[in-house]
Chains A and B, each alone.
Chain A
Amino acid sequence: MAEVAHAEVGHDDHHDHHEPSFWSKYVFSTDHKMIAMQYMFTGMAMALIGGFFAYVFRMQLAFPGASIPFWGTLSPAAYNSLVTNHGTIMIFWVAMPVLIAAMGNFLIPLMIGCDDMVFPRVNRLSYQIFLISAIVLIISFFVPGGGFGGAWTAYPPLSAKAQYNATPFGAPLWLIAVTLEIVAFLLGGINFITTVMNARAKGMRMYDIPIIVWMIVIASILFMCSVGPLIAGAVMLLFDQTLGTGFFDGAAGGDPVLWQHLFWFFGHPEVYVVLLPAMGIVGEITCTFARKKLFAYKLILYSTIGLGILSFFVWAHHQFISGVDPRAAYLFTTTTLLISIPVAIVLFAYIATLYGGSIRFTTAMLFALAFTGEFLLGGVTGIWLGSSGVDVYLHDTYFVLAHFHYTFVPIAIIATFAAVYYWYPKMFGRKMNETWGKIHFWGTTVSFNGIFIPLFILGAGGQHRRIYNFQHYPDLAGADMQDMRVFATLSLIVMLAFQVIFIVNFFVSLKRGEKAGNNPWKANTLEWVATSPAPHGNFGPVMPEVYRGPYEYSVEGREEDYWPQNEKPSDS
């Protein structure tokens, strides 16, 4: 079988023999590291847009009607559009590209010891489709009627009919952008899964695969298996929007709630699609800087698989008040509460990894620890929302909003920063400045809590999510509530301001950072075998072989406290 495989594949690569030009090196490259960088920088640019949107609508909430610096006065329609596109951008154009696409592209081939993804050109195509989708989304802000304003979940009939959402061009463009983005990640996901299944280094068995690679693969599988119905639904909704069919139109016999099912069947696994790579990143970093073997590797792995399977059974907990049958709600409550168990197992395994370790508080480690703590808070508040009875009260309040920001900010912001600080040496050959990194860390995490703790209180007080100006609602316009809104907004501005430190640190370190060797953190996994920055082909002429698991830290009887996966056993 293996000979057949070799005979059948591998002779369709046309490689350039000349020195690459700027375009072929940076723009049309098929190298997985360059594509990862493209994803990462696109994602970060989109994060700036999404962050700016958050700033504008938070300013409106804190100082209703005031003229907002860099924007002007905010109209209700623009407010809706900003909120919608903030959500869409942060999930589809920031969390997905940075966590799955950039980290997956960069780390998978390096960590499993091969030279590239198995389909380099599909990989490039995936990024190009993603880029087009981002451009389509940005165009949708400037068409007549403005960007789509029906929330990122796009429930019909609001999203289906232009006379309701008043964005005849924004809504279809938004939907097209999301669909293109999904297609891009389907291509990328198939590439990731196939690469890990087929292209692992010699000697790398199932339990020698680093946990982050497992998690990215499981996340890709979740994405691929959940997104199909949404693609079908997106086609149907697009026809409803542009042609006037009645798939989700109750008057024509359609079912608007069906869209919610199609959407959330994807939407809930999607949460885990972005969560898993973040947990993987945190696992790697925690283990490296605790200088200790990862606690219960197999338990983490099986919990993650269980988490992935369970994540397909929980979606209707987003729909408790949209008319789901109470008996079904009971089932979905049960599965929702069950799914907290595997998540908790993984997080507590990370905490157990810390126990008795000789912990090094680098910036990356600080971010990783912050993820564990903050995400626990987000997860625990999810227990309330998952219980259908409590959810009837809390649904669509700021409590929900604070809950999912307590999960998504640790995922998309904190874990991403951890990853950037940790793998920056491998990406660019230099370390980022640790002092400024720590300032950035404290500024980010403290202000993050400053934003969302008040929102928990406001939400429990009954403040609804989708209100443009609370002055119109006397019950919600009290001075104490308004103070909390102002506090949250100011915290957001502080948090955004601290990101300037990160951006400056990032670009200054490109040139002036302390030179990092191949293995600055003394880690075990294979990516640290390659030179920093890793060259085209990653490992040079001899591909590494794997002799042990990825987390052999502080092994007794060894001089050094780490034991790279590819180091030959001395006795053989």
Chain B
Amino acid sequence: MAGHKHPSYLKIYFILLALFVVSVAGPEIAEKLGLEGVSRTVLVLSTAFGIAIWKAYLVCAYFMHLKVEKIYAPYILLACLSLLLVFFFGTATDAMFSNGHNWVKSYSEEAAKEEAQSRSHGGHDDHGDGHSDGDHYGEDHHDEGDHDGDDHNKEEDKDSHEAH
């Protein structure tokens, strides 16, 4: 690849670093602002994953010189990526609907969550990033954003579980 003009690698590197900071900060900001529901999901997804894609693009285009590489190379990579999507969505049609009509799951999401929460509380305070015992994901998210609320919430779950 001697013939072409290199872009400034340092410039790309600093853009990558800036993006990296944003991608870490985004979810943290969502955390601090106590965002909920759709706005939180959008912020986390766009900062964490949207920026990951952008970063990957920058590395591919400039560090790996795909912008100036012969057309075969991006085709190879794009073909592999698109097949990956085929695999993912083909499998998702099945794996995302794994609640059977004629069988019962022995695995319980609730029980798994409780177990995970009890593990998180078990002496894990000196490790992690300060909010290690939160539940902040998707549809069954509860209103509380702080520690007390979570603990309360967990107790409630336990109660209802025992009542059954």
A252 interface residue (CB < 8 Å to B): yes
Cβ-defined contact, B107 with A250, below 8 A: yes
- Give the complex CA separation of A105 and B67 in angstroms: 34
The residue on B at minimum CB distance from A252 is B107
A-B contacts, 16 of them at CB < 8 A, read A1-B3, A4-B3, A225-B80, A228-B80, A250-B106, A250-B107, A251-B106, A252-B107, A253-B107, A265-B90, A316-B90, A316-B93, A323-B94, A325-B93, A328-B90, A328-B93
List the B side residues contacting A251 at CB < 8 Å: 106-107
Q: A4-B3, A250-B105 are in contact. Are A255 and B79 (CB under 8 A)?
A: no
Tell me how far the C-beta of A160 lies from the nearest C-beta in chain B, rounded to whole angstroms. Answer: 15
A405 interface residue (CB < 8 Å to B): no
List the B side residues contacting A327 at CB < 8 Å: 93
What 17 new A-B contacts, CB under 8 Å, besides A1-B3, A257-B98? Answer: A4-B2, A225-B79, A228-B80, A250-B105, A250-B106, A251-B106, A251-B107, A252-B107, A255-B98, A261-B94, A262-B91, A316-B90, A323-B94, A323-B98, A325-B94, A327-B93, A328-B93
Report which residue of B87, B95, B97 has the largest number of chain A beta carbons within 10 angstroms of its beta carbon. Answer: B87
Cβ-defined contact, B90 with A257, below 8 A: no
B71 interface residue (CB < 8 Å to A): no
Cβ-defined contact, A258 with B90, below 8 A: no
List the A side residues contacting B80 at CB < 8 Å: 225, 228
A57 interface residue (CB < 8 Å to B): no
B100 interface residue (CB < 8 Å to A): yes
Tell me how far the C-beta of B71 lies from the nearest C-beta in chain A, rounded to whole angstroms. Answer: 12
List the A side residues contacting B109 at CB < 8 Å: 253
B14 interface residue (CB < 8 Å to A): no
B56 interface residue (CB < 8 Å to A): no
Question: Which single member of A255, A258, A312, A316 contacts B83 (CB below 8 Å)?
Answer: A312
A315 interface residue (CB < 8 Å to B): yes
Interface residues on A, range: 20 to 34
List the A side residues contacting B112 at CB < 8 Å: 253
Binary contact readout B1-45 vs A (1 if CB under 8 angstroms, 0 otherwise): 111000000000000000000000000000000000000000000
A65 interface residue (CB < 8 Å to B): no
Q: A258-B91, A325-B94 are in contact. Are A313 and B86 (CB under 8 A)?
A: yes
The residue on B at minimum CB distance from A193 is B76
Cβ-defined contact, B100 with A323, below 8 A: yes
List the B side residues contacting A265 at CB < 8 Å: 87, 90-91
| In the A-B complex, the 5 residue pairs with the closest CB atoms | A328-B93, A261-B91, A253-B107, A324-B94, A251-B106
- Give the complex CA separation of A399 and B86 in angstroms: 29
Q: A225-B83, A261-B95 are in contact. Are A313 and B107 (CB under 8 A)?
A: no
List the B side residues contacting A257 at CB < 8 Å: 94-95, 98
List the B side residues contacting A313 at CB < 8 Å: 86, 90
- Give the complex CA separation of A226 and B106 in angstroms: 32
The residue on B at minimum CB distance from A246 is B107
Binary contact readout A224-268 vs B (1 if CB under 8 angstroms, 0 otherwise): 011011000000000000000000001111010110011001000
List the B side residues contacting A542 at CB < 8 Å: none
Cβ-defined contact, A261 with B90, below 8 A: yes
Q: A225-B79, A255-B98, A325-B97 are in contact. Are A315 and B107 (CB under 8 A)?
A: no
Binary contact readout B53-86 vs A (1 if CB under 8 angstroms, 0 otherwise): 0000000000000000000100000011001001
List the A side residues contacting B90 at CB < 8 Å: 261, 265, 313, 315-316, 328
List the A side residues contacting B1 at CB < 8 Å: 4
A532 interface residue (CB < 8 Å to B): no
A319 interface residue (CB < 8 Å to B): yes
Tell me how far the C-beta of B97 lies from the nearest C-beta in chain A, rounded to whole angstroms. Answer: 5
List the B side residues contacting A262 at CB < 8 Å: 91
List the A side residues contacting B79 at CB < 8 Å: 225
List the A side residues contacting B106 at CB < 8 Å: 250-251
Interface residues of B in 81-134 (CB under 8 A from A): 83, 86-87, 90-91, 93-95, 97-98, 100, 105-107, 109, 112
The residue on B at minimum CB distance from A266 is B87
Binary contact readout A291-326 vs B (1 if CB under 8 angstroms, 0 otherwise): 000000000000000000000110110010001110
Cβ-defined contact, B94 with A312, below 8 A: no
The residue on B at minimum CB distance from A322 is B94
- Give the complex CA separation of A319 and B93 in angstroms: 13
- Give the complex CA separation of A319 and B94 in angstroms: 10
The residue on A at minimum CB distance from B112 is A253
Tell me how far the C-beta of A520 lies from the nearest C-beta in chain B, rounded to whole angstroms. Answer: 38
List the B side residues contacting A4 at CB < 8 Å: 1-3
Tell me how far the C-beta of A321 lies from the nearest C-beta in chain B, rounded to whole angstroms. Answer: 12
List the A side residues contacting B83 at CB < 8 Å: 225-226, 312
Report which residue of B79, B93, B112 has the largest number of chain A beta carbons within 10 angstroms of its beta carbon. Answer: B93
List the B side residues contacting A325 at CB < 8 Å: 93-94, 97
Cβ-defined contact, B107 with A312, below 8 A: no
A197 interface residue (CB < 8 Å to B): yes
The residue on A at minimum CB distance from B107 is A253
The residue on A at minimum CB distance from B100 is A323
- Give the complex CA separation of A170 and B77 in angstroms: 37
The residue on A at minimum CB distance from B109 is A253
List the B side residues contacting A253 at CB < 8 Å: 107, 109, 112
List the A side residues contacting B86 at CB < 8 Å: 312-313
- Give the complex CA separation of A258 and B92 in angstroms: 9
- Give the complex CA separation of A328 and B94 in angstroms: 7
Tell me how far the C-beta of A315 lies from the nearest C-beta in chain B, rounded to whole angstroms. Answer: 7
List the A side residues contacting B93 at CB < 8 Å: 316, 324-325, 327-328, 331
